[in-house]
């Protein structure tokens, strides 16, 4: 994929936070929607295996988004031909690969731990952004990522994770892989300026995710049990978690670097822990709290540096 200038905008320097209020409204929507979705998916996975859930989520989101396009009388539903390959690659990483790994990993571990690992996305976005799109990362931004990485190491210490428990180790590895795929896809998405609208982009990305999702579903579809809870969670995923959430995420990525967006949505696991404690009664160990503090500390360092270096584009 060719490199191109970034389609970013930011507010005047008088805004201490750099990006404008609209950017934070998009990211806030992502945090609120995705944090509440994790414990709901965990509940649904009791009756619906992860890959079957992924395929139903993807197909349902395509139908819902297609209906939205029909109601809004979109004349062009698909992106322009020259953008379809690049959007497909970014979507297969950020949507299919990331969701497949995170859903399978969530089946094997607790919600709070799963979210903490998934939202290390910003740690991987720093080196990937430098490598893939030539984003400038200062020493302070690398230091923030190093602090967050220390949190991941603390998370995987023997007092937090039983290395003899194959399920816990496999679940953690899948969630880290999910975070890397998400960061990779986000950086590729920011590699060029898009002509197609956000609805067309997301619709196309979901479409290309349907075939591999259905293929994976063949591995565990026989374990599926149809319940009202499963379909209720899927309905929330079709509308809020997938269509609204990823639409807002794509909008945010056209305004700020993936490192900045990733830092903000890192608030999701903290809010998600409150949801999981309420819905599922989950509790963290002392080492998990320390890991969370380190990861959030890295978030603050990187975010402050990213805002300070944001150009003033009017």
**pLDDT tens sequence for the chain (314 residues):** 444 333 333 333 333 344 578 888 898 999 999 889 999 999 999 999 999 999 999 999 999 988 888 887 777 788 999 999 999 999 999 999 999 999 999 999 888 888 888 878 877 877 887 777 777 667 777 787 788 778 877 877 766 667 778 888 899 899 999 999 988 998 888 888 889 888 889 899 999 999 999 999 999 999 999 999 999 999 999 999 988 988 888 788 878 776 677 667 777 877 887 788 787 877 777 777 888 788 778 777 766 665 555 543 33
Confirm if 197 and 139 have CB atoms less than 8 A apart. Answer: no
Instruction: Using a cut of 0.85, tell me whether the model's pTM lies above it.
Output: no
Going by C-alpha positions, the residue among 250, 256, 231 that lies closest to residue 189 is 250
Find the angle CA(252)-CA(106)-CA(271) to the nearest 5 degrees. Answer: 50
Confirm if 251 and 77 have CB atoms less than 8 A apart. Answer: no
Distance CA 151, CA 94 (A): 23
The reported pLDDT for the residue numbered 258 is 67
The reported pLDDT for the residue numbered 128 is 81
The reported pLDDT for the residue numbered 86 is 94
Distance CA 145, CA 78 (A): 37
Confirm if 216 and 158 have CB atoms less than 8 A apart. Answer: no
Distance CA 216, CA 220 (A): 8
Between the two ends of the chain, the Cα-to-Cα distance in Å is 28
- Residue 177 Cα distances to 30, 165, 270, angstroms: 20, 19, 20
The reported pLDDT for the residue numbered 303 is 64
Q: What is the 3-state secondary structure (H, E, C) of the chain?
A: CCCCCCCCCCCCCCCCCCCCHHHHHHHHHHHHHHHHHHHHHHHHCCCCCHHHHHHHHHHHHHHHHHHHHHHCCCCCCCCCHHHHHHHHHHHHHHHHHHHHHHHHHHHHCCHHHHHHHHCCHHHHHHHHHHHHHCCCCCHHHHHHHHHHHHHHHHHCCCCCCCCCCHHHHHHHHHHHHHHHHHHHHHHHHCCCCCCCCHHHHHHHHHHHHHHHHHHHHCCCHHHCCCCHHHHHHHHHHHHHHHHHHHHHHHHHHCCCCHHHHHHHHCCHHHHHHHHHHHHHCCCCCHHHHHHHHHHHHHHHHHHHHHHHHCCCCC
Distance CA 229, CA 235 (A): 10
The reported pLDDT for the residue numbered 124 is 81
């Amino acid at each position: 994929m060719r490199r191109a200038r970034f389609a970013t905008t930011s507010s005047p320097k008088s805004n201490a936070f750099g990006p404008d209020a609209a950017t934070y409204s998009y990211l806030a929507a992502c945090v609120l929607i995705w944090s509440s979705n994790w414990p709901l998916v965990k509940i649904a996975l009791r009756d619906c295996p992860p890959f079957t859930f992924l395929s139903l989520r993807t197909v349902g989101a395509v139908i819902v988004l297609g209906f939205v396009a029909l109601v809004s009388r979109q004349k062009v539903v698909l992106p322009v031909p020259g953008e379809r390959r690049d959007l497909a690659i970014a979507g297969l990483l950020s949507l299919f690969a990331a969701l497949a790994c995170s859903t399978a990993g969530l089946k094997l571990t607790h919600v709070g731990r799963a979210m903490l690992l998934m939202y290390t996305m910003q740690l991987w976005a720093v080196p990937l952004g430098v490598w893939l799109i030539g984003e400038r990362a200062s020493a302070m931004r690398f230091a923030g990522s190093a602090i967050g990485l220390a949190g991941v190491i603390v998370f995987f210490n023997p007092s937090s994770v039983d290395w003899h428990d194959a399920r816990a180790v496999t679940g953690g590895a899948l969630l880290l892989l999910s975070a890397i795929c998400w960061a990779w896809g986000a950086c590729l998405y920011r590699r060029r300026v898009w002509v197609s609208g956000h609805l067309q982009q997301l619709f196309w990305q979901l479409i290309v995710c349907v075939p591999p999702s259905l293929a994976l579903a063949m591995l565990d579809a026989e374990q599926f049990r149809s319940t009202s809870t499963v379909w209720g969670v899927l309905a929330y995923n079709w509308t809020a978690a997938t269509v609204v959430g990823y639409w807002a995420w794509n909008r945010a990525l056209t305004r700020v670097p993936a490192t900045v967006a990733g830092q903000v949505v890192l608030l999701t696991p903290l809010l998600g822990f409150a949801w999981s404690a309420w819905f599922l009664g989950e509790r963290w160990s002392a080492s998990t709290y320390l890991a969370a503090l380190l990861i959030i500390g890295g978030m603050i360092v990187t975010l402050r540096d990213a805002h300070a270096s944001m150009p003033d584009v009017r």
